[in-house]
RNA sequence: GUCCCCGUAGUUCAACGGAUAGAACGAGGGACUUCUAAUCCCUAGAUAGAGGUUCGAUUCCUCUCGGGGGCACCA
């Protein structure tokens, strides 16, 4: 069964074709209020002007046409009110919707259901996210890329897409040169310092990095060290290799703690070393780029308002723009992607516009399928976070604190819970991820501890709690809970609304994929959880005397639980059995 | 200067060009002998401004005013 929106669109399409109207005018929206119906279309309003008839006349035409054809058994009634044609779904629709929801199962998020048509089949999406820098500890700002990227990956997989997740680690460039300089200066003729650094590399290297940045000509020094590294200097290479190794290990630890799905690729920027000279050559021979007097290679985009794009610096070192060009090429060749997405904060939008424009000028394939999924960056109430200024909140600190608070609440509310540690982790992480994902990707987020780690209201734990409550009802039920309504049941308005809310999830997921906005799913799940809370507060379920009614309520609870768990899974949030 | 993103209740955020602009937090009031009160119910409260397009604009266009970011041979 297709989604109700598709169903109604199809019905309208055949009317439009019969009448010779432009099907592009068709628009189906959920009704703002169930008293109108379940879905509505404003097509009568749009056509009225074109056909020079009143909306009422047009609507009558459409409704008559639909009624003159065999009745669609998923539609119960069609009505017209204040310009809108309203559709109400039939009990058969609800019956089948229920089965579709239960068939999918709660934990089946990444598996395509057999035989089901999925729009993602045969399409590969390359997702670039969680791009950590070498030898730096991730802070809360890094959370956004990780969480948004991971959610998009889960959502895409659920629709049958193949996803290649790549961290694209920042392991190359001048910043790395600065780190090399700082390290070498510290250990010069000082064996003990080497051990000290190796014992606690992340803290020590960060300190050294901050100190080195205070030197006036640090930029030149860093560039020199990086140029040496790039030209193959053996000492720099071996230090670099060690730093990359420990950093990748750290990255894996962080990814595991965040419970991110695994990455298919860890191709850092350094992986594109060999491809870069060829691109420079191509750019020069095609006349896209030119060499400046001091030996740099640049593409002049000033006429397009994109300034000058530098591929190679005058000291011969490459830029990350050049590496990103090589990355597009590599990904297109190796994965033949349908989309190539970069989940990176919006401070880099200018950079990506340059990358895509230069790639276009070079005639690269896959440019139009490449997109910067920009997000607003996370800042503190007092301003931007900066490693160099030292005012960062480390990711681990936030996770630790979230867990600690979750544990405190569990001791207060449910002291007998047997797996406190596990659940505290699930709740803490759920709160943080949900906080991040609930914001529109494009807005900046101000990090307030109280908001980010809240467990009440529109939060991850609210949905987790709702889910746990529903699961508890199912556990305590003495009835056999099937996957269908009892024979002859007639659903009431509340029951229909709750089920429709579940059945609409695929429509929301489609919208998430269309605009790469996971918060739409977050909102939908929150609203569903709200309805569910309201529902079980007003309907005693286990004590309902009428067996048919009781079984109906139970099977609806099962559908809602399944939908919520599955939705949380798609956001990368666990749904504990009890909390 | 120029380019991009954002201006919605006191605060943090929603609203696929659609019907009466929704929530959450905070504020005030209420509901646990009853499936977990991390919950539920009630009350108050908002589209920065001016034009335009449209049957219909928070949404699209133009300008103004505010906030953030980019315009590095940093990544």
Q: pLDDT, tens digit, for every residue of A412-457? A: 999 999 999 999 999 999 999 999 999 888 888 888 888 889 999 9
Q: Point out the domain boundary residue: A73, A89, A105.
A: A89
- Domain membership of residue A516 (yes or no) is yes
Nucleotide nearest to A319 (CA to C1'): B73
- CATH at residue A310: 3.40.50.620
Nucleotide nearest to A531 (CA to C1'): B40
- Strands, sheet with A308-312, edge to edge from the N-terminal-most edge strand: A290-291, A297-300, A308-312
User: Looking at the 3D structure of chain A, how many domains does it have?
Assistant: 3
Conformational region of residue A151, where left means phi above 0, alpha means psi within -120 to 50, and beta covers everything else:
alpha
Q: Point out the domain boundary residue: A46, A66, A89.
A: A89
Whether A244 and A366 share a structural domain = yes
Whether A194 and A329 share a structural domain = yes
- Rounded to two decimals, the pTM is 0.95
The two structure tokens encoding residue A14 = 């055949």
Q: Quick count: other Cβ atoms within 10 Å of Cβ A5?
A: 17
Distance CA A529 to C1' B40 in A = 12
- Domain membership of residue A291 (yes or no) is yes
- Domain membership of residue A17 (yes or no) is yes
Whether A247 and A317 share a structural domain = yes
Residues A63 and A85: beta-carbon distance below 8 Å: yes
Distance CA A96 to C1' B72 in A = 59
Residues A558 and A481: beta-carbon distance below 8 Å: yes
- Domain membership of residue A576 (yes or no) is no
Measure CA A266 to chain center: 19
Q: Point out the domain boundary residue: A70, A89, A108.
A: A89
Whether A285 and A413 share a structural domain = no
- Domain membership of residue A108 (yes or no) is no
**Mean per-residue pLDDT pooled into runs of 10, chain A (579 residues):** 86 93 92 91 93 93 93 93 93 92 62 57 94 85 92 94 93 89 90 90 88 87 91 93 92 95 93 94 95 94 91 92 96 96 92 95 94 87 72 89 95 92 96 92 85 93 96 93 88 91 93 92 96 93 92 95 96 96
Amino acid A115: pLDDT: 42
Nucleotide nearest to A473 (CA to C1'): B35
Nucleotide nearest to A463 (CA to C1'): B38
Whether A523 and A443 share a structural domain = yes
- Domain membership of residue A565 (yes or no) is yes
For A468-526, the DSSP string reads HHHHHHHHH--S---SSPPTT----HHHHHHHHHHHTHHHHHHHHHHHT-THHHHHHHH
Whether A374 and A400 share a structural domain = no
Which residue has its C-alpha nearest to nucleotide B7's C1'?
A443
Residues A155 and A570: beta-carbon distance below 8 Å: yes
Distance CA A183 to C1' B11 in A = 45
Query: Rounded CA gap, A312 and A280, in Å?
Result: 8
Amino acid A33: pLDDT: 87
Whether A250 and A320 share a structural domain = yes
Amino acid A388: pLDDT: 67
Distance CA A444 to C1' B54 in A = 32
Query: Rounded CA gap, A179 and A212, in Å?
Result: 8
Whether A42 and A166 share a structural domain = no
Domain that holds residue A428: 395-571
Whether A425 and A489 share a structural domain = yes
Nucleotide nearest to A316 (CA to C1'): B73
- Domain membership of residue A116 (yes or no) is no
User: First vs last Cα of chain A: how many Å apart?
Assistant: 36
Per-residue CA distances from A491 to A94, A307, A480 (Å):
9, 62, 20
**Residue A368: is it exposed, middle or buried by C-beta count within 10 angstroms (0-12/13-18/19+)?**
exposed
- CATH at residue A413: 1.10.730.10
Contacts of A531 (CB under 8 A, 6+ apart): A497, A498, A501
CA-only gyration radius of chain A, Å: 28
Distance CA A425 to C1' B38 in A = 15
Distance CA A148 to C1' B45 in A = 33
The residue among A229, A108, A56, A88 whose CA lies nearest residue A569 is A108
- CATH at residue A29: 3.30.1360.70
Nucleotide nearest to A178 (CA to C1'): B74
Whether A274 and A414 share a structural domain = no
Helix (H) or strand (E) holding A125: strand A124-128
Amino acid A549: pLDDT: 92
Helix (H) or strand (E) holding A423: helix A420-437
Whether A455 and A367 share a structural domain = no
Distance CA A160 to C1' B28 in A = 50
Distance CA A380 to C1' B49 in A = 30
* Chain B footprint positions (protein CB, under 7 Å): 2-6, 12-20, 23-26, 34-41, 54-56, 67-75
What does the pLDDT look like over A186-228, one tens digit per residue?
Answer: 998 888 899 999 999 998 988 898 888 888 889 889 999 999 9
- Domain membership of residue A96 (yes or no) is no
Whether A303 and A169 share a structural domain = yes
Query: Rounded CA gap, A436 and A129, in Å?
Result: 15
Query: Rounded CA gap, A387 and A391, in Å?
Result: 7
Amino acid A106: pLDDT: 52
Residue A183 is given by DSSP the state: H
């Amino acid at each position: 069964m297709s989604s109700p929106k598709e169903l109604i669109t199809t019905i309208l399409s055949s009317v439009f074709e019969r009448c010779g109207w432009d099907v592009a005018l068709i628009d189906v929206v959920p009704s703002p209020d169930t008293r109108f119906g379940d879905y509505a279309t404003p097509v009568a309003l749009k056509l009225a002007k074109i056909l020079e008839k009143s909306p009422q006349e047009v609507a009558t035409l459409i409704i008559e046409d639909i009624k003159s054809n065999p009745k669609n058994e998923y539609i119960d009634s069609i009505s017209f009110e204040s310009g809108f044609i309203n559709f109400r779904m039939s009990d058969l629709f609800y019956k089948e919707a229920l089965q579709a929801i239960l068939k999918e199962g709660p934990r089946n998020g990444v598996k395509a259901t057999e035989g089901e048509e999925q729009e993602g089949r045969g399409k590969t999406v390359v997702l670039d996210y969680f791009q950590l820098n070498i030898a730096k500890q991730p802070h809360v700002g890094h959370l956004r890329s990780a969480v948004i990227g991971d959610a998009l990956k889960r959502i895409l997989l659920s629709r049958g897409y193949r996803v290649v997740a790549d961290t694209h680690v920042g392991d190359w460039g001048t910043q790395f040169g600065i780190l090399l300089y700082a390290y070498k200066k510290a250990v010069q003729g000082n064996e003990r310092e080497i051990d000290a650094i190796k014992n606690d590399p992340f803290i020590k290297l960060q300190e050294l990095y901050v100190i080195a940045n205070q030197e006036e000509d640090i930029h030149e020094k860093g560039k020199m060290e990086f140029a040496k590294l790039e030209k193959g200097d053996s000492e720099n290479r071996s230090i670099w290799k060690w730093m990359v190794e420990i950093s990748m290990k750290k990255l894996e630890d962080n990814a595991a703690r965040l419970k991110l799905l695994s990455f298919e690729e860890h191709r850092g920027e350094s992986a594109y070393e060999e491809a870069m000279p060829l691109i420079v050559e191509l750019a020069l021979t095609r006349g896209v780029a030119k060499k400046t007097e001091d030996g740099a290679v640049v593409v002049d985009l000033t006429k397009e308002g994109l300034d000058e794009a530098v591929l190679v610096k005058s000291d011969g070192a490459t830029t990350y723009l050049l590496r990103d060009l090589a990355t597009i090429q590599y990904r297109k060749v190796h994965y033949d992607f349908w989309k190539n997405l970069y989940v990176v904060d919006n401070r880099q939008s200018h950079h990506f516009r340059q990358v895509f424009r230069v790639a276009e000028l070079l005639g690269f394939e896959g440019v139009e399928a490449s997109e910067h999924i920009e997000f607003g960056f996370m800042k503190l109430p007092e301003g931007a976070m900066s490693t160099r200024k030292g005012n960062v909140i480390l990711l681990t600190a936030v996770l630790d604190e979230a867990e600690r608070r979750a544990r405190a609440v569990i001791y207060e509310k449910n002291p007998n819970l047997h797996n406190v540690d596990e659940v505290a982790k699930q709740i803490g992480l759920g709160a943080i991820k949900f906080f991040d994902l609930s914001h529109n990707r494009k807005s900046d987020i101000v990090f307030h501890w109280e908001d980010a780690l809240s467990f009440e209201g529109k939060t991850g734990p609210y949905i987790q709690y709702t889910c746990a409550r529903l699961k508890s009802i199912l556990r305590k039920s003495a009835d056999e809970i099937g996957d269908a309504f009892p024979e002859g049941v007639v659903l009431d308005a509340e029951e229909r609304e709750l089920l429709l809310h579940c059945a609409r999830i695929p429509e929301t997921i489609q919208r998430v994929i269309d605009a790469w906005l996971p918060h739409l799913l977050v909102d939908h799940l929150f609203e569903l959880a709200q309805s569910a809370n309201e529902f079980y507060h007003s309907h005693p379920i286990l004590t309902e005397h009428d067996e048919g009614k009781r079984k109906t309520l139970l099977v609806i609870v099962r559908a809602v639980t399944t939908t919520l768990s599955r939705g949380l899974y798609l956001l990368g949030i666990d749904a504990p059995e009890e909390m």
